[in-house]
Chains A and B, each alone.
Chain A
Amino acid sequence: MSTLDAAASRELTLVELVDRLLGKGVVIAGDITLAVADIDLVKVELRALVASVDALSATAEVTS
């Protein structure tokens, strides 16, 4: 589906997984309590997001 290498592809898939499972989907009202673990996961997502941007950018440099 894309020209990313395996490692970049895995990182992108993880970002997309985290984005969906933690940020989307049906929410049970009143269930939104921001715990320490949630904050840590937001940091994981941001790190992974930056990594995925780098991975995507590396692909563009290779293919252009």
Chain B
Amino acid sequence: MIYVYAIVEGRHELPDGLTGFGGAPLHRLAQGDLEAVYSSDPPSGVAPSEDSLWLHERVLEELMATRAVLPMRFGSTIGDEGELRELLTERHEQFARALAIVRGRVEIGVRATAPPDDGDAERTPASGREYLAAKLERRRAAARMGEDLHAELASLSRASRFRLIADPRPVFAGSYLVDRAQVDTFRRGFEAARAARPGLALACTGPWPPFSFTDGVEGS
């Protein structure tokens, strides 16, 4: 089995000294103008843990310094180089489109939540109807919180995605694809968005490899 870290734009050397799980050397498999970066999967596989997630992440960050990268989900293994070549061939168009979109860009994450109302969680619903009404109101509150924030941040990015979690409390999680040269501008825009929303808790993470933008679809 081989462990695949990323689909990348081809013809760039691997960073010196960069290794994968178990210290295994990294390899590139080229198919047209695309490459896959992989290593031999350790015999007992790779168990997910904070350390192993960071190892996968660091391989991506190193690669990203010198080429456009589409991150693989953690734990992506495939039988052998032949199957990997098939993957690159079958999905060449999607990968090429996605690489063109992410080239020279990074992903910034934004999370927002409304602090809990005192007594909110403790109130037990008197009826099924009250329970459902409260649930619906939480979903609407999450949507109100997220959509206007997203519109503001999306205008500062090349592409964007978001999702809303309504339970147990409203949480907004957005991902913004930003030109490297525009990251500072985005951060200033984030700070302005936060200053304008004193009732919300907002935080920004990244830059990340473009995990949210591997589908080859533009826009938000």
**Does A52 lie within 8 Å of B72, measured CB to CB?**
no
| Residues 97-155 of B at the A interface (beta carbon under 8 Å) | 109, 111-113, 115-116
**Does B202 lie within 8 Å of A2, measured CB to CB?**
yes
**Does B198 lie within 8 Å of A2, measured CB to CB?**
no
Q: Does B63 contact A (CB under 8 A)?
A: no
| Residues 5-32 of A at the B interface (beta carbon under 8 Å) | 9, 12-28, 31
**Does A14 lie within 8 Å of B208, measured CB to CB?**
no
Interface size for chain B: under 10, 10 to 19, 20 to 34, or 35 or more residues? 35 or more
Bound state CA distance, A23 and B200, in angstroms?
Answer: 25
Tell me the smallest distance from the CB of B210 to a CB of chain A, in Å.
Answer: 9
* Given known A-B contacts A17-B53, A25-B71, A57 and B211 have beta carbons under 8 A apart: no
| Count of inter-chain pairs, beta carbons less than 8 A | 111
Most interface-central of A21, A28, A50, A56 (chain B CB within 10 A)? A21
Dominant SS among interface residues on chain A = helix
Which residues in B have their C-beta under 8 angstroms from that of A17?
53-54, 57
Which residues in A have their C-beta under 8 angstroms from that of B74?
21-22, 25
Bound state CA distance, A17 and B7, in angstroms?
Answer: 19
Of all chain A residues, the one with the shortest Cβ separation from B76 is A28
Tell me the smallest distance from the CB of A24 to a CB of chain B, in Å.
Answer: 4
**Does A61 lie within 8 Å of B214, measured CB to CB?**
no
* Given known A-B contacts A1-B205, A56-B203, A57-B201, A18 and B53 have beta carbons under 8 A apart: yes
Q: Does B48 contact A (CB under 8 A)?
A: yes
Which residues in A have their C-beta under 8 angstroms from that of B171?
49, 53
Tell me the smallest distance from the CB of A45 to a CB of chain B, in Å.
Answer: 11
**Does B115 lie within 8 Å of A28, measured CB to CB?**
no
A27 partner, pick from B56, B73, B111, B112, beta carbons under 8 A: B73
Q: Mark B140-180, 1 if CB is under 8 A from A, else 0.
A: 00000000000000000000000001001101010000000
